[in-house]
Structure 1
Amino acid sequence: MALLTDLSLRQALEGLSAKTFSSEELTRAHIEAIEAARPLNAYILETPEKALEMARASDARRAAGDPGALEGAPLGIKDLFCTDGVRTTAGSRILGGFTPTYESTVTTQLWRDGAVMLGKLNLDEFAMGSSNETSAFGPVVSPWRRRDDTAPLTPGGSSGGSAAAVAAGLCLGATATDTGGSIRQPAAFTGTVGIKPTYGRCSRWGVVAFASSLDQAGPIARTVEDAAILLKSMSGHDPKDSTSLDVEVPDFPSFVGRSVKGMRIGVPKEYRVDGMPAEIETLWEQGIAWLRDAGCEIVEVSLPHTRYALPAYYIVAPAEASSNLARYDGMRYGLRAEA
């Protein structure tokens, strides 16, 4: 059964479709893997009973000939997404063990397509951090180690639990959020694939807010194709979110594997900064060479406002965080201490 946790999302869906194994078998394999990997602290809350219930329902739908796009796939959910009847903490004690009576739009769409919830994944408190060390439930440890070194490594953050769980085979894919790098950076740290979509592509409704004009939900997965499959289910217009884009959702998986020959690729000269480490410069050049070898035309472009991006972020993000977190004052909302 352990081999089931080595499958990509696409491979698992193909195996389920071929009836090589059931969603219940696939889910049990992941539950066992989660139990064995608890020292990683990737999950804040495990929901094995709910997962098996959802898996059995999924197997029944497949047997009836009515499978969804993610039918039977066990996923991990970042504990920033509200889940009906399942505790949601945002990695904080401030919420006081909050159990929502509603479901976020993103997770609603995943369940609509037949996915199974294994549990809620760890994160930096209120998604503010880049190492997953600020969580009230303790830091997440990366499943990766340096060669000949047992020192624990950070999986990055804030979606550290999502990245570590995917990298360690503790779910087939995970939801995550990105305000200033919280999907892209942990994906880079753990050798997984993460996408911060265009703002408004995925609904923010039911996602605990950090900085509302920057927050965006997206997937972390093992492969580009897996990320495309998840993003297609997560995307879509939501009238409950005033910033949601009312546009058609592309068939993202259909773009995977297409040739890039003939494309014109702009390389911003401002993205090379003084003091950039030689190894990063080498990787940058390697990426350009790969595109050129694949038949792309490489063009140097200028994005002169790049230098203002980080300063602007550190004005907007803390201001919006201050506004959003003001509600957790113990009177209107959140934990109230006796003192």
Structure 2
Amino acid sequence: MSDLTELGIAQIRDGVAAGDFTAREVAEAFVAKVAAAKSLNAFLVETPDHALAAADAADAARVAGDLKPMSGVPIGMKDLFCTEGVPATAASHILEGFTPQYESTVSGKLWAAGAGMLGKLNMDQFAMGSSNETSAFGNVISPWRRSDGGNTALTPGGSSGGSAAAVSARLCPGATGTDTGGSIRQPAAFVGISGIKPTYGRCSRWGVVAFASSLDQAGSMARDVTDCAIMLGSMAGFDPKDATSLDLPVPDWAGSLNGSMAGKRVGIPKEYRVDNMPPEIDALWEQGIAWLRDAGAEIVEVSLPHTKYALPAYYIVAPAEASSNLARYDGVRYGLRDLPEGAGLQDMYAATRAAGFGPEVKRRIMIGTYVLSAGFYDAYFTQASKVRALIARDFEQAWAHCDVLLTPTAPSAAFGLGDKSSDPLAMYLNDVFTVPSSMAGLPAMSVPGGLDGQGLPLGLQIIGKPLDEQGVLDACLAIEQRAEFVARPESWW
């Protein structure tokens, strides 16, 4: 039998349904692959029993004629999602020892759809980071290496770096991610896979450890557009436990996929042509334009004039919300407690947070607390909120001229671990192309487009109108069909 770990979500689902192989055979193959890849540090917790139990249920469902949309598909779960009876740390020491007694809505929907869990995936601590270097449990290593033969350890991107590395290395056919300012799309671009952030509110945030509540959104990461559509369809849906959840039916995105762009207009935002853009990124963007034109699209230039303010506004709004959300980690009810001898309550709070939060999380909490303080709230947070509204208005005006937008996903290919960790501003600039759509709550997706001169993946991003995940997926499929991206990392781990 061929290596079952080479199969994607659709191939596994269809193969199990056809009886070509059993779900248990698939699960056993991936469980073994995960166990043999510890050097990537992609998984924080391995849950083979969960994957095998779901596989046995899928095989029984096939016999009974009761297969679900993802029966037989084992996936990875980003450690931001609470899963009943399995530790959830958000990659932070402050949540060590916390085992949820409840299931997040998204993970519960996936289990109901027949999927099984191979384990919890490493990530940037509390989803704060763009390189997976802020995890309290060590860096995730990208499975990719530069073609010059060097052994420099590369970032898989962040914050969903464990998800990206695991899918790219064939440790799982798909994985959940969360995207606050680009944390699904940027890592997907860095490792040559696809990843979609749906419209804000499409996927419930209930049971997902919060970073910035008005921005956080769960999405799917997989090897191709079809697999992302299948998985997202099982994740999305209304949840009364989440006040921001959209009470709308979930379309059959996978069943409606169409790579034709005939009659569609694709906008090219002129403000995304940033200074000092690497020639390879610009060349890929031009290639993407040519591919979509070949698919039947009309290409138009559009303007998003407030784009240049998106990144600074994001790094006010997101830390402010993080400062509020992370105040609950105080050592009283769950997780880490650091109680020095003779200490009072305030001393315990301070000691617990000092020991439990990493440097990047502390930095963002301090920024957020500062911009929310009495003397600076209007000067910073109120102004950033106004800018956010202007960014959303820019997109609304652009939709009068186009159906989707095409941009690069990230300003570079993957960089070496440690290359930017000493310069927070350089790290934050990784999100320059992904943050604006997050600020506006729009659906957006990254799809691999090619390789740079060092043989590393580069991604293209499609941004769509609110609730138009189908348009985003279709445009990405058109690119995928023409890019014919089949590159994969050579196994060294």
Instruction: Tell me whether the two structures share a fold, i.e. TM-score over 0.5.
Output: yes
Is 1:93 paired with 2:93?
yes
TM-score normalized with structure 2 length: 0.68
Which residue number in structure 2 is paired with residue 132 of structure 1?
132
Q: Which amino acid is the alignment partner of residue 324 of structure 1?
A: N
How far apart, in 1, do the equivalents of 2:288 and 2:177 lie? Answer: 26
Which residue number in structure 1 is paired with residue 121 of structure 2?
121
2:117 counterpart SS class:
strand
How far apart, in 2, do the equivalents of 1:2 and 1:176 lie? Answer: 29
Unpaired runs of 5+ residues, structure 2, are: 341-493
How far apart, in 1, do the equivalents of 2:269 and 2:303 lie? Answer: 5
Tell me the alpha carbon deviations over residues 48-80 of structure 1, each in whole angstroms, 9 at most, x when there is no partner: 122212211221122111110000100000000
Which residue number in structure 2 is paired with residue 203 of structure 1?
204
Tell me the alpha carbon deviations over residues 288-333 of structure 1, each in whole angstroms, 9 at most, x when there is no partner: 1111122211111111111111111011000000100011011244
Q: Which amino acid is the alignment partner of residue 105 of structure 1?
A: T
Is 1:304 paired with 2:305?
yes
Q: Which amino acid is the alignment partner of residue 149 of structure 1?
A: G
TM-score normalized with structure 1 length: 0.98
How far apart, in 2, do the equivalents of 1:108 and 1:48 lie? Answer: 17
Is 1:224 paired with 2:225?
yes
Unpaired runs of 5+ residues, structure 1, are: none
Give the 5 Å matches for 1:275-286: 275-286=276-287
Tell me the alpha carbon deviations over residues 106-145 of structure 1, each in whole angstroms, 9 at most, x when there is no partner: 0110001100111100001111111111111111011111
How far apart, in 2, do the equivalents of 1:92 and 1:235 lie? Answer: 27
Which residue number in structure 2 is paired with residue 142 of structure 1?
142
Which residue number in structure 1 is paired with residue 267 of structure 2?
266
Point out the structure with max Rg over C-alpha.
2
How far apart, in 1, do the equivalents of 2:87 and 2:28 lie? Answer: 22
Q: Which amino acid is the alignment partner of residue 37 of structure 2?
A: A
Give the 5 Å matches for 1:169-180: 169-180=170-181
Q: Which amino acid is the alignment partner of residue 118 of structure 1?
A: L
Which residue number in structure 2 is paired with residue 234 of structure 1?
235
How far apart, in 2, do the equivalents of 1:75 and 1:210 lie? Answer: 23
Which residue number in structure 1 is paired with residue 330 of structure 2?
329
Tell me the alpha carbon deviations over residues 133-175 of structure 1, each in whole angstroms, 9 at most, x when there is no partner: 1111111011111112222211011100000000011111000
Counting matched residue pairs gives 339
Displaced runs of 4 or more, over 2 A: 254-258, 331-334
Which residue number in structure 2 is paired with residue 77 of structure 1?
77
Change (3 A) 1:124 1:2: farther
- CA-atom RMSD in angstroms: 1.1
Q: Structure 1 residue 2: deviation in Å? A: 6.6
Q: Which amino acid is the alignment partner of residue 133 of structure 1?
A: E
Is 1:44 paired with 2:44?
yes
% identical equivalent positions: 68
Which residue number in structure 1 is paired with residue 58 of structure 2?
58
Q: Which amino acid is the alignment partner of residue 129 of structure 1?
A: G
Which residue number in structure 2 is paired with residue 109 of structure 1?
109
Q: Which has the higher contact order (CA 8 A, sep 6+)?
A: 2
Name whichever of 34-43 and 58-67 sits farther off.
58-67
How far apart, in 1, do the equivalents of 2:169 and 2:134 lie? Answer: 21
Tell me the alpha carbon deviations over residues 80-100 of structure 1, each in whole angstroms, 9 at most, x when there is no partner: 000011111100110122110
Which residue number in structure 2 is paired with residue 155 of structure 1?
156
How far apart, in 1, do the equivalents of 2:252 and 2:184 lie? Answer: 21
